[in-house]
Structure 1
Amino acid sequence: MTNIKIREVEVYHPENQVRNQYYLDHFNRQGKDIDRLLKAFGKDKRYIINNADENTLTMGIEASKKVLDKAGLKGEDIDLIIFTSQFPEYTIPPQSLMVHEAIKGKAETFCTDSNTDCVGMIVAFDYASRYLKGSDNMKRALIIGADYMSVHCREEDEYTYPLFGDSACAVILEKTEEDCGFIDSFYTTNSEYPDIVKFPACGASKTYESEINDRKVDWTPFDGSFIIQYAKESIDKLLQKHSMNFNDINWFCFSQFALPIIDGSAEKFEVNREKFIYVGDKYGYTGTSSPFIALYEGIKSGQVKRGDNVAFWSIGGNWITCAMLVRY
């Protein structure tokens, strides 16, 4: 039986690391005390681009080169490239095409970009796994998730500016006969409140109007208490479908948006909190790549081992959620 395994995972982030004190001082000058907010969200450090040479695309290219080198592969070994981002540097040409050029990919490669907001990299992984399984001509896929988030945040918005970080993650998937890899996914969508988060806030068609200054992220604070229930219901349905239970999951790589998602999920699922990998205190919230940066850190630390069952879950786009099971 052909399965789709994770061959390698790599991460790229800018060198500039910013700690909480910078944001505490920044908002104190605005008459705001965000100390409790940062503690509640579980933030401490984050990587922030502070030069004109880096962006979503350059970070994605660097992550791609790193993961190919780690796997001992070349660009010509890749059959499918998917680049997922909420904040692409370009929409034309596709960023995947520019990655293809940077890694010297072959002519037969299928390149495409996608955007499902913060759940994007899980969705891209799902797409790629199913596509590889259904294609006789493809063996390997390169999945890239990258977001240059900090530049698009309003500096007076305490719910985005101090919480987000800039990073990229790249994953190589490949066909195998081993008993491992992609198991299944499950989606939930609720489009009742589509305008809670928008970018650009004014709409792309109005960005050229000189009187418009509302071009950055428009983030309306919302009650996120429903998020954990969404996650539990999705993972429950996947586990039931495959005759598994929560004890069969070795690791949970969930959205790193806020620490309460991690702590609350562990409590709701009635599983050991140590099974939930949290790196949002080190990277900040990196958007589409966050569940896979958690996986990367779990592998790097020696926690996640081959044969372990990993549950992924994230939410984006007001609200699109995806749960996914993978045997690493």
Structure 2
Amino acid sequence: MQHSNVRISGVGTYHPQNKLTNEVIFEHFRKVGKDVESLYKHLGREERYYADPGETAITMGVIAAKRALEDANLSPDQIQMIVFASDTPEYLIPTNALLISRELETKNAHIVYDLNANCTGMITAIDQVYRYMDHKKLRYALLVSSVHISPWCNEDDELYYGAWGDSGAAVVLERVESDERFGVIDSEFFSDSSYYRMTTMPDSGMARIHDESLPLAKRKGGWEPVDFDFLPEKWNILIRELAQRNGLELKQIDHIIFSQFSIYAIKEALKNLGLEDDPRLYTFVGNKYGYTGHTSPIFGLSHALQDGKIKDGDNVVFISAGAGYIISSFLYKFDGALLK
């Protein structure tokens, strides 16, 4: 039986050079009368990177995209579709995917659009684009993401300032006909709008972003405290559903690439799944880069590959959560494409 598979054949990431260590961040918050050390230990933060002047969501995304194309050994004119996933785009008009296409000179990419699913953006985009590629019989698509959070941070805000980082990431998707089934296998989603005010950007809403009667802080990022300790169990429901629906036992899931927001949430999820707290079973890089939202699963994937945690034939679950809140996940079976 012939299968139309869509696999990841190239990965690229980028972070700026401006590194902020915990010592710098802790001292910053001491000056505004806040002790954030226990919070950042809970999340698992050590270092993060902020964009330098002149860097944007476009420039970071383009660098990551070039690296993904190089990793896939493709030229720009082989790409037929570009999707840009971000909640901090450089422009509302035109679509940022068009600008990335222009910079890369992808002259045959005629399907270009932006997608915003908050921190689940790249996972959602991979699921959507793989289905579209199969329907339209496209060969190659490029998915690009950037997080440019630093301009939106209020400097007395411990959730955004210092916990996050700026970054770019990209993957090349390739459709391959084969007797074997591999690549993106299945997906599962969940949403609950009860927490729609948990984080807002701009906090004023776009309609009032230029209203100078509002303080500047109100026109940047805002949030309301939420006890998010229920998240690991919600992740587990989706992981169990993916496994059961595809005839897998939990022990047959070889690796999980979680949202990189919280190491505590990852460890709780593993415990609730009855899996060991074994670094071979998951990848966490939120300590190295801060939380990078949309791009964080791709940074996780890149490190999992570099560290040899994934091998040919492995079943890997990608899962993340976004503001409001939403959860996106997909099951992926690796072939040899990325295992170089």
Which TM-score applies when normalising by structure 2? 0.93
**Aligned residue for 1:187?**
189
8 Å contact from structure 1 (residues 57, 89) kept in 2: yes
Q: Establish whether residue 88 from structure 1 lines up as the match of residue 89 from structure 2.
A: yes
**Aligned residue for 1:308?**
314
**Aligned residue for 1:34?**
36
Q: Establish whether residue 217 from structure 1 lines up as the match of residue 221 from structure 2.
A: yes
Q: Identify which of 213, 237, 240 aligns with 2:241.
A: 237
Q: What's the CA shift string for 1:212-267, capped at 9, x where partnerless? A: 22111111121011101110001111111111121111111010011111111111
Separation in structure 1 between the aligned mates of residue 64 and residue 274 of structure 2, nearest angstrom:
35
Q: Establish whether residue 292 from structure 1 lines up as the match of residue 298 from structure 2.
A: yes
Separation in structure 1 between the aligned mates of residue 139 and residue 245 of structure 2, nearest angstrom:
27
Q: What's the CA shift string for 1:176-231, capped at 9, x where partnerless? A: 13432000101111112312211111111111222222111111121011101110
**Aligned residue for 2:338?**
none
Separation in structure 1 between the aligned mates of residue 228 and residue 118 of structure 2, nearest angstrom:
17
Q: What's the CA shift string for 1:294-318, capped at 9, x where partnerless? A: 0111111222223221101111131
Opposite residue 252 of structure 2, the aligned amino acid is D
Opposite residue 300 of structure 1, the aligned amino acid is Q
Separation in structure 2 between the aligned mates of residue 306 and residue 47 of structure 1, nearest angstrom:
32
**Aligned residue for 2:198?**
196
Separation in structure 1 between the aligned mates of residue 195 and residue 289 of structure 2, nearest angstrom:
29
Q: What's the CA shift string for 1:39-92, capped at 9, x where partnerless? A: 11110011111x221011110011011111222211111111110001101111
Q: What's the CA shift string for 1:92-146, capped at 9, x where partnerless? A: 111100111111112452001000101111000001110111113x111111121
**Aligned residue for 1:128?**
129
Opposite residue 43 of structure 2, the aligned amino acid is F
Separation in structure 2 between the aligned mates of residue 70 and residue 79 of structure 1, nearest angstrom:
17
Q: How many correspondences in the alignment?
A: 326
Opposite residue 98 of structure 1, the aligned amino acid is L
Separation in structure 2 between the aligned mates of residue 139 and residue 107 of structure 1, nearest angstrom:
12
SS of the residue 2:327 aligns to: strand
8 Å contact from structure 2 (residues 187, 242) kept in 1: yes
Separation in structure 1 between the aligned mates of residue 248 and residue 239 of structure 2, nearest angstrom:
10
Q: Establish whether residue 263 from structure 1 lines up as the match of residue 267 from structure 2.
A: yes
Name stretches of at least 5 consecutive residues in structure 2 with no aligned partner: 335-340
SS of the residue 2:193 aligns to: coil
Q: What's the CA shift string for 1:7-62, capped at 9, x where partnerless? A: 0111011012111001110111112111111111110011111x221011110011
C-alpha RMSD over aligned residues: 1.2
Between the aligned residues of both structures, percent identity stands at 33
Structural mapping, 1:91-110, within 5 Å: 91-110=92-111
Separation in structure 2 between the aligned mates of residue 221 and residue 162 of structure 1, nearest angstrom:
17
SS of the residue 1:146 aligns to: strand
Separation in structure 2 between the aligned mates of residue 95 and residue 55 of structure 1, nearest angstrom:
11
Which TM-score applies when normalising by structure 1? 0.97
Opposite residue 103 of structure 1, the aligned amino acid is L
Separation in structure 2 between the aligned mates of residue 69 and residue 147 of structure 1, nearest angstrom:
22
Opposite residue 74 of structure 2, the aligned amino acid is L
Opposite residue 66 of structure 1, the aligned amino acid is R
CA pair 75-87 structure 1, distance change in 2 beyond 3 A: same
8 Å contact from structure 2 (residues 101, 109) kept in 1: no
Runs of 4+ in 1 over 3 A off after TM superposition: none
Structural mapping, 1:8-27, within 5 Å: 8-27=10-29
SS of the residue 2:243 aligns to: helix
Opposite residue 326 of structure 2, the aligned amino acid is I
Separation in structure 2 between the aligned mates of residue 168 and residue 3 of structure 1, nearest angstrom:
26
**Aligned residue for 1:54?**
55
Structural mapping, 1:155-194, within 5 Å: 155-178=155-178, 179=180, 180-194=182-196
Q: What's the CA shift string for 1:142-170, capped at 9, x where partnerless? A: 11121111221111111221200111110
Opposite residue 247 of structure 2, the aligned amino acid is S
SS of the residue 1:144 aligns to: strand
SS of the residue 2:45 aligns to: coil
8 Å contact from structure 1 (residues 259, 278) kept in 2: yes
8 Å contact from structure 1 (residues 255, 261) kept in 2: no
Separation in structure 2 between the aligned mates of residue 39 and residue 195 of structure 1, nearest angstrom:
25
**Aligned residue for 2:208?**
206
SS of the residue 2:203 aligns to: coil
8 Å contact from structure 2 (residues 117, 124) kept in 1: yes
